[in-house]
Amino acid sequence: MTPSCSTPSPCYAVKSAASGEESLRICVHDDPGDILRLAPEWRGLMAGNPHARPFYDPTWHAAWWRCLGSGTVHLCAVRNENGDLLAIAPLTLRKDGVLRFIGGEDLSDYLDIVAAPGSYPDAWRALTEYLHSSDAPPWKEMRLHSVPATSPTAEFFSGYDGARVEKEDVCPVITLPDSWNDYTGMLGQRDERELRRKIRKAEMEADLEFGSTLSAESLEADLEDFFRLHALSQPEKEEFWNDSRRTFFREMAREMLQLGWLDLTRMRVHGHAVAANFSFDYEDRIYLYNSGYDPSERDLSAGIVLLAQNIEQAIQAGRASFDMLRGDEAYKYRFGAKDEIIYRIELTRERK
């Protein structure tokens, strides 16, 4: 063990293959409170990082851990000799010996480490050396879910001996043009015709209105509308909204609103919410995280019309893409989305 890299946690030294000198240190944090204590440095790695997603923010991991976490935290900070943070790997170890990302694949559509530009390979070389050492926790298998195909993590493990990198799912994504007319022109003729027809029909409603959550004061009521509409539109997921998940959504939504990333929208008719979309507006991409609508208002095609409104707003805001996240539901492709792959990465611990 080496000195603590200006933190109260133990650190593991990784030698440079070229010089044999110490080059990187893995500082291990097992206190969940360190997730937020490291937030300023952590967000420094996310800022302007093309591989970052809103799901990688420390407040997301902290809220998930408080509401749904189990096992033990193993937050690995990769630092250079000057103590600068080069990467953060938010890991948790289950009682059965499975090491995985904090955040849970059931609620986080993307998961990954966050690293400085160009530092992903070095960070993972250091992390895997540490994880196979006697200083590491007693893990048996590492399972990393929801890793984007474009991430350097997927590339690193594709060439790592013993690792299994497999397609886990797809996230259909719309590449946004410069105008609404250009967007609808991208669609198939039938899909464009049907979309325009549904929008015209909805606009005939005298009391139709669209709105967004703009303040903490309105957040709770807007979330209740979202919870209700999601449950109505997907009754097969009735058990999804247990107390822990509701609490997670409330905490996470408050944090995302404060960061300026929450895009919670709704469609109302006669003052009654008939559709709601829970999205994130992060960097140049909108992430459609979850949605719901009132099936009793099916003639309004409320879910389709609100989604079209969201896409038009994203185009007007100059966003480059609209990510419909995990799952290959047919409606996503009618909106012009194309698949982006996410991977599952598995690694078994080397026996010494």
* Per-position b or e across 2-18, b if 16+ CB within 10 A of its CB: eeebebebbbbbbeeee
Residue 11 confidence class, pLDDT cut points 50, 70, 90 = confident
Residue 87 in any domain: the answer is yes
Residue 337 in any domain: the answer is no
Torsion-angle region of 94 (φ positive above 0: left; ψ -120 to 50: alpha; else: beta) = beta
Residue 172 in any domain: the answer is no
Q: What is the pLDDT of residue 237?
A: 74
- Asked if residue 239 and residue 141 are part of one domain, the reply reads no
Q: How far apart are CA 294 and CA 342, in angstroms?
A: 31
Is 50 exceeded by the pLDDT of residue 202?
A: yes
Q: Considering only CA atoms, which of 84, 90, 112 is closest in space to residue 23?
A: 84
Residue 19 in any domain: the answer is yes
Q: What is the pLDDT of residue 240?
A: 87
Residue 254 in any domain: the answer is yes
- Asked if residue 231 and residue 113 are part of one domain, the reply reads no
Residue 81 confidence class, pLDDT cut points 50, 70, 90 = confident
- Asked if residue 200 and residue 155 are part of one domain, the reply reads no
- Asked if residue 97 and residue 71 are part of one domain, the reply reads yes
Residue 239 confidence class, pLDDT cut points 50, 70, 90 = confident
Residue partners of 345: CB distance under 8 A and separation at least 6: 142, 143, 144, 147, 153, 154, 157, 163, 164, 165
Residue partners of 186: CB distance under 8 A and separation at least 6: 177, 336
- Asked if residue 157 and residue 39 are part of one domain, the reply reads yes
Is 70 exceeded by the pLDDT of residue 352?
A: no
- Asked if residue 18 and residue 156 are part of one domain, the reply reads yes
Residue 1 confidence class, pLDDT cut points 50, 70, 90 = very low
- Asked if residue 80 and residue 226 are part of one domain, the reply reads no
- Asked if residue 189 and residue 139 are part of one domain, the reply reads no
Q: What is the pLDDT of residue 150?
A: 96
- Asked if residue 198 and residue 118 are part of one domain, the reply reads no
Is 50 exceeded by the pLDDT of residue 122?
A: yes
* pTM summary value: 0.94
Residue partners of 310: CB distance under 8 A and separation at least 6: 263, 265, 277, 279, 286, 288, 322
Mean pLDDT of 330-334: 96
Domain count, the chain: 2
Q: What is the pLDDT of residue 4?
A: 39
Q: What is the pLDDT of residues 133-187, one digit of tens each?
A: 999 999 999 999 999 999 999 999 999 999 999 999 999 999 999 999 999 999 9
Is 50 exceeded by the pLDDT of residue 276?
A: yes
- Asked if residue 185 and residue 158 are part of one domain, the reply reads no
| Mean pLDDT computed over every residue of the chain | 93
Residue 14 confidence class, pLDDT cut points 50, 70, 90 = confident
CATH of the domain at 192: 3.40.630.30
- Asked if residue 250 and residue 230 are part of one domain, the reply reads yes
- Asked if residue 191 and residue 152 are part of one domain, the reply reads no
Is 60 exceeded by the pLDDT of residue 20?
A: no
Structure tokens at 339: 């698949």
Residues listed for the chain: 352
Residue 130 in any domain: the answer is yes
**Residue 200: burial class (beta carbons within 10 Å; 0-12, 13-18, 19+):** exposed
Helix (H) or strand (E) holding 197: helix 189-203
Q: What is the pLDDT of residues 30-67, one digit of tens each?
A: 999 999 999 999 999 999 999 999 999 999 999 999 99
Q: What is the pLDDT of residue 9?
A: 60
Residue 186 in any domain: the answer is yes
Cβ(269)–Cβ(297) below 8 Å: yes
Residue 264 in any domain: the answer is yes
Domain that holds residue 290: 177-319
Alpha carbon 102 to its chain centroid, in Å, reads 11
